[in-house]
Amino acid sequence: MTAVDYTVIVVYLAGMLALGWWGMRRASSTSDFLVAGRRLGPFMYSGTMAAIVLGGASTIGGVGLGYQYGLSGAWMVLTIGLGLLALSVFFSARIARLKVYTVSQMLDLRYGGSSGLISGIVMWAYTLMLAVTSTIAYATIFDVIFGLDRVVAIVLGGAIVVCYSTLGGMWSITLTDMVQFVVKTVGVLLLLLPIAVVKAGGFGAMKSELPHGYFSPMGIGAQTVFTYVLIYSFGMLIGQDIWQRVFTARDDRVARLGGTTAGTYCLVYAVAGAIIGTAAKVLYPKLGAPDDAFATIVKDALPVGVKGLVLAAALSAVMSTSSGALIACATVANNDIWARLRGRTLRTSGSSHDEVGGNRVFILLMGVAVIGISVVLNDVVEALTVAYNVLVGGLLMPILGGLLWKRGTGAGALASVGVGGLTVVALMGWKGILANEPIYFGLLASLVAYVAVSLATKPTDAAILDVWRRRLAGEPAASVSETTSPATTGA
């Protein structure tokens, strides 16, 4: 590392803080703070959506999978991109029309306020662990940059993200995400990818050096690919961090086309990461751990200046996901858990300064919690798997069922969340975090509970379904707190 590389990185970090301060001036209402005023156009929407889904696990973990399995290591990030495409094409327009702030508010609208608290707890656990995965990744990057101790690296990186996220909420995060998207594109796709391939001698040399399985599209295993689809593709359909970005879209068209563009970008990024990892296997065949591949190839193979930019790109990937997960975690903790415990609900039209201040406090609190957990945990892929297993096993059926099946009921949704979530957690404890069984049997148990209990209970009240249909159609309706609060629905 030279003075030029350090300068590039320091300027980048200072720029993130400056954009956070600038974003604070635009966050004068709850809508501004949580969903950027629902005003993003196609360019900013595409960039910020791509930034949130492609984080440390997708960048460092994606290159690590390429190092371990070759081109088939792209499948984890490919399934993320496929999930985002499915969300954008089939569901994003309807989700954006609901004009809510959280997934639990959507469930309240659909089922009449019967499962919001439990679903909020599950979603909070998911967003918390998602923020942890990105924060853990700071350790690898800052160790390469500054030679910092792991704990110091996590605290430093986490503090920067917490600072700019707390200042301006979604506006600050959107502005920083756009810079991060550009830096990531230049650093990883335009610089690191071609340089890594050239350093490894080109594709011909890579094929001659590595086993044939490194170039097989299913070398990672069909069962692993199927599990990735269940966890990551379906996870994209229902995550609070993703939905909160959908809520920022200016209109249906932006949500659909902008998300499709971001999903396509993810597919390109997935293949690039796997190729970089494969090249790293040729250059450094005996690394201690696959996740070391990214930092090692950046440190040893890149020229002065380029090294700093690519490391800034890695920080971009980590920070974009970390900040998006952090604001999602704080939004759920404040508005789906704490507010409900106090007997309150968040108005979708709310604009009071007190609500903005309360959300700022929760971002700060959740940020401190994320940093603390990250210091204790160590494995990025394991933490990400825990997050998505809990999310998909607990909430996929109630959410998709609510969108697609009129007969689904609040009691069915509540049973599905409880049975699916507990099954996933129990099987992770028994079979191991990375085992396939937790998500397989968790989803099956959640589906059976949802269908059986829904059919065994009274259909959802017609008045609730009428409000739901009007909101899906984009018609004006009363606020969520007026139509679905526990006090008005008997929940």
pLDDT digits (tens, 9 = 90+) for 275-296: 999 999 999 998 888 888 988 8
Describe the crossing of helices 306-332 and 42-53 by its angle, rounded to 10 degrees. 90
In a domain, 424, yes or no: yes
Q: Which domain holds residue 256?
A: 3-378
Give the pLDDT of residue 1: 66
Backbone angles phi, psi at 185, to 5 degrees: -65, -45
The CA-based angle 85-48-299, given to 5 degrees, is: 100
The domain that holds 140 is classified in CATH as 1.20.1730.10
In a domain, 311, yes or no: yes
Q: Kindly state whether residues 294 and 150 are assigned to the same domain.
A: yes
d(CA 275, CA 267): 13
Q: How many other CB atoms sit within 10 Å of the CB of residue 300?
A: 12
Q: Kindly state whether residues 219 and 327 are assigned to the same domain.
A: yes
Q: Which of 378, 395, 423 corresponds to the end of one domain? A: 378
Does the model's pTM come out above 0.75?
yes
In a domain, 488, yes or no: no
Q: Kindly state whether residues 30 and 143 are assigned to the same domain.
A: yes
Whether the Cβ atoms of residue 17 and residue 164 lie closer than 8 Å to each other: yes
Q: What's the burial of 386, exposed, middle or buried (CB within 10 Å: 0-12/13-18/19+)? A: buried
Look at the chain and report how many structural domains it folds into.
Answer: 2
In a domain, 483, yes or no: no
Taken as a whole, the chain contains a residue count of 491
Q: Kindly state whether residues 408 and 370 are assigned to the same domain.
A: no
Comparing C-alpha atoms, which of 138, 102, 137 is closest to residue 123? Answer: 102
In a domain, 26, yes or no: yes
Q: Kindly state whether residues 336 and 397 are assigned to the same domain.
A: no
pLDDT digits (tens, 9 = 90+) for 153-183: 888 888 888 998 888 888 888 888 898 899 8
d(CA 491, CA 487): 7
Q: 22-36, 48-62, 420-434, 441-455 — which is least confidently predicted?
A: 22-36
pLDDT digits (tens, 9 = 90+) for 240-272: 989 999 999 999 899 999 999 999 999 999 999
Confidence of residue 138 (pLDDT cuts 50, 70, 90): confident
Q: Kindly state whether residues 351 and 391 are assigned to the same domain.
A: no
In a domain, 211, yes or no: yes
Give the pLDDT of residue 345: 54
